Structure formats: C-alpha cells, structure tokens
Amino acid sequence: MARSKTSGDWLKEHFNDEYVKRSQNDGYRSRAVYKLEEIQQKDNLIRPNMQVVDLGAAPGGWSQYAVELVGKNGRVVASDILDIDPLPFVEFVKGDFTEESVLNDILNVLYKDSTNYKADVVISDMAPNMSGVEATDQPRSIYLCELSLDMACQILKPGGSFVAKVFQGDGSDAFLKDVRSHFKKVKVRKPKASRPRSREVYVVAQGFYN
C-alpha cells in the first residue's frame, strides 16, 4: 500500500528533526527526553537520591534521563500498560496504575530497602492514541492528566513535584486549576523540543501540600 502524502511528510519531518538526531546520537529512546531536560534545567525538579515515578513511561526516554539525575542512591520506578525494553537501574511495573494492585506494586518498589515509600517527583508524558478528532481526543487526554494527578496526590511526599503533558483546549484550564489546589507553585512550560504547531504544554507543579 502506498503511503499518503501526509504520512510521507511526517516521516520526512521526523527523520530530519534535530531532536530525533540528537536522541539517536545521545542514546536516548525518544526525542521527548529533551522536553524533560529543558524543564529540569529551568526548574531543577529531580536531584540526587530522589525517588521518581514515571507514569506512561514507554518507550523509556524520560526514565533514562531521570536515572542520570537521581544517581546510584536514587530510584526510578517506571510504569506503563505496555512493555518496555529493560533499562539499567529503572524498576518497571507493568499495568494500569489506576488499578489498586498496580498502585500497590509501585508502592512496594518504592518501599523496598527504604523506610520512605513516598515519591519525590511524579512525571508523566502520557497521551492517548490520537484519532484526529478533537472532540474525542481532547477529553481522553484530559482524563489521562486527571488520572496522573490523582496518582501523584496518592504517592507524593509533602513538598514533592509533578510534571504532566497537557493538550490545551477544553478542560485544560480546569485541570490547571485542580493542580493549583494541590501545589504551592505551578507553571506552564512549552519546551523547545515540543513542535510549535502542537497544542501540548507541560504543567510543572512544585510544593505538594494536599
């Protein structure tokens, strides 16, 4: 079957993308790592010895970068409904994190060899499989944001941080308001690695208190 012009244009753009080339050269699994890198450079969320939970982690780029930041005495727990190829020093929990059994598995990993079972940082680059129909895609993406926030509120220690990808549109302002009700400081970032035409932004929240 011949490729459509649209898919051909996307492939050309993808393989010419500077961040795709950088990720290949740097050994990262996705170009998305540079979005987290820019957020980290501006907000200094992840530090040595911290415990980080990466929700919707596949293919693993964010977890790769987080491991570099937490060091040998930190911990990165990745979770996704999809399998990911093993990553050094990343502990993977497969399943739907909204299910109690998966939540307990994540908590058990955090608790292992530690009296501290709470996370310092929860990160999420999740997005639904896009249909191209905004009336369907936008509610699904906001729902994932709400799920990740709920998870963060369950497992973050006081003062912890949260990062989530949000697509601007119906429901995004309400989600931002909800985040502000749980964190002392909330910013919206548009990293350079996020394609200009994309409606995606990243909510960066610090100082969890409720």
Residue 141, pLDDT above cutoff 90:
yes
Residue 47, pLDDT above cutoff 50:
yes
pLDDT at position 54: 98
Q: Is 125 annotated as a binding residue?
A: yes
Distances (CA, A) of 51 to 42, 46, 178: 20, 9, 24
pLDDT at position 27: 82
Residue 10, pLDDT above cutoff 50:
no
Length of the chain: 210
pTM value is 0.89
pLDDT at position 15: 54
Upper half-sphere CA count for residue 91 (Cβ side, 13 Å): 15
Average pLDDT over every residue of 151-156: 95
Which of the four pLDDT bands, split at 50, 70 and 90, describes residue 7? very low
Q: What is the pLDDT of residues 98-130, one digit of tens each?
A: 899 999 999 889 887 666 679 999 999 998 888
Average pLDDT over every residue of 49-63: 96
Lowest-pLDDT range of 41-50, 96-105, 146-155, 178-187:
96-105
Domains of the chain as residue ranges with CATH: 32-208 (3.40.50.150)
Q: Whole-angstrom Cα distance, residue 124 to residue 112?
A: 22
Average pLDDT over every residue of 59-87: 95
Q: Is 60 annotated as a binding residue?
A: yes
Q: Is 10 annotated as a binding residue?
A: no
β strands within the chain, DSSP E: 51-55, 75-80, 90-94, 119-124, 156-167, 183-189, 200-208
Q: Is 80 annotated as a binding residue?
A: yes
Catalytic residue flag (residue 94): no
pLDDT at position 6: 47
pLDDT at position 3: 54
Show Cβ contacts of residue 91 under 8 Å, excluding neighbours closer than 6 positions: 75, 76, 77, 78, 109
Q: Exactly one of 165, 177, 185, 187 is catalytic; which is it?
A: 165
pLDDT at position 102: 92
Q: Is 62 annotated as a binding residue?
A: yes
pLDDT at position 52: 97
CB 155 within 8 A of CB 109: no
Q: Whole-angstrom Cα distance, residue 200 to residue 137?
A: 12
Segment holding 86, helix H or strand E:
none
